[in-house]
Amino acid sequence: MSPQGPLRLGNRAFRPEDLLVMAIVNRTPDSFFQPGVTWDSSAAMDRVHAVIAEGADIIDIGGVPARPGDDVDVSEEIARVVPFVAAVRRAYPDVVISVDTWRHEVGAEACAAGADLLNDSWGGRDSKLAEVAAGHDAGLVCAHAGRQPPRTRPFRVAYADVMADVLDRTLAQARRAVDAGVDPSRILIDPAHDFGKNTWQSLEVTRRLGDMSATGWPVLVSVSRKDFVGETLGLPAAERLPGTLAAATVCAWLGARVFRVHDVAQTRQVLRMVSAIRGDRVPERTVRGLT
């Protein structure tokens, strides 16, 4: 087991015991959950104000849905994301801003506008993205998508050992990022639930998440209302919050440090409770049995 070190994003440094909430802000009309709710820029900024008030540490801005759909080219993705990144940076000079993209062109424009972290959910498909992160002293998320191309659904995927594949691919990406000049303290690894995985495989990487934490790299998880939760419980996206919180709790206990979510306030409560059980924070008040 390798020791965890500080995670540096933007001008902030987070301790290994800090559990961080990354709030999702989709600049798309067709996301899988609440499609279009933050498509309008004013609604998206309202969302930013709300999640920061609820305790979000990171704002994750995305311009292309993960699921298949209408083509979104580079110029359109930039138009959806970059002006909004600049607006959030003006409104919140110190907040950590992440951009969910696999394209280096988008990453470069986003970092120039103020982004601190490039969240590559598609497993390093564009090798130049790490070079962009290095050039802007930005962070990089190294995720596992198997062999799955961007915006495709998994079909009969099979692994001899899914966690072994997750580790092989994410650690290889992290090494390439370091070789490209990315500060190691700004790199995270992500098992990428649902990406290149069926429900059984996403459940397995959840219960074996400690294998990722043991590498010493900070682990990010994105389990919020995903299909593996829905299929496990037989529920649509609108009813997956309890299952999401259960998965997040397990991931927190097994060492995940960053949680990409739709529901900030509820996740923040879960993470505070896990931190208290682990002994990393004290309760807000302790009078029971003492007075």
> Can you tell me the distance from the alpha carbon of 190 to that of 125, in angstroms, rounded to the nearest whole number?
15
> Can you tell me the distance from the alpha carbon of 245 to that of 69, in angstroms, rounded to the nearest whole number?
28
Give yes or no for a contact between 168 and 190, defined as CB atoms under 8 angstroms apart: no
Split at pLDDT 50, 70, 90, the class of 1 is confident
Count H helices and E strands in the chain, helices first: 10, 10
110's enclosing H/E stretch is helix 104-113
Give yes or no for a contact between 36 and 25, defined as CB atoms under 8 angstroms apart: no
> Can you tell me the distance from the alpha carbon of 110 to that of 127, in angstroms, rounded to the nearest whole number?
17
Structure tokens at 87: 């607006």
Q: Which amino acid is at 178?
A: V
47, 225, 260, 268: the active-site residue: 260
> Can you tell me the distance from the alpha carbon of 212 to that of 193, in angstroms, rounded to the nearest whole number?
13
226, 240, 257, 268: the active-site residue: 226
Structure tokens at 122: 């598609």
103 is catalytic: no
Structure tokens at 233: 């419980």
226 is catalytic: yes
Q: Is the pLDDT of residue 260 over 80?
A: yes
pLDDT digits (tens, 9 = 90+) for 184-207: 999 999 999 999 999 999 999 999
SS3 41: helix
pLDDT digits (tens, 9 = 90+) for 144-156: 999 999 999 999 9
Split at pLDDT 50, 70, 90, the class of 70 is confident
Structure tokens at 80: 């959806």
Segments making up each domain of the chain, as ranges: 7-278
> Can you tell me the distance from the alpha carbon of 95 to that of 124, in angstroms, rounded to the nearest whole number?
25
CATH top class, domain 7-278: alpha beta
pLDDT at res. 257:
98
Split at pLDDT 50, 70, 90, the class of 83 is very high
pLDDT at res. 265:
98
pTM of the model: 0.96
pLDDT at res. 291:
84
Residue located via tokens 């311009």: 63
60's enclosing H/E stretch is strand 58-62
Split at pLDDT 50, 70, 90, the class of 129 is very high
Integer CA distances (angstroms), 214 to 3, 120, 146, 168, 211, in order = 8, 22, 21, 14, 5
Question: What is the percentage of the chain residues whose pLDDT exceeds 70?
Answer: 100
What residues pair up with 100 in beta bridges, in sequence order?
A: 62, 119
Split at pLDDT 50, 70, 90, the class of 36 is confident
Give yes or no for a contact between 119 and 25, defined as CB atoms under 8 angstroms apart: no
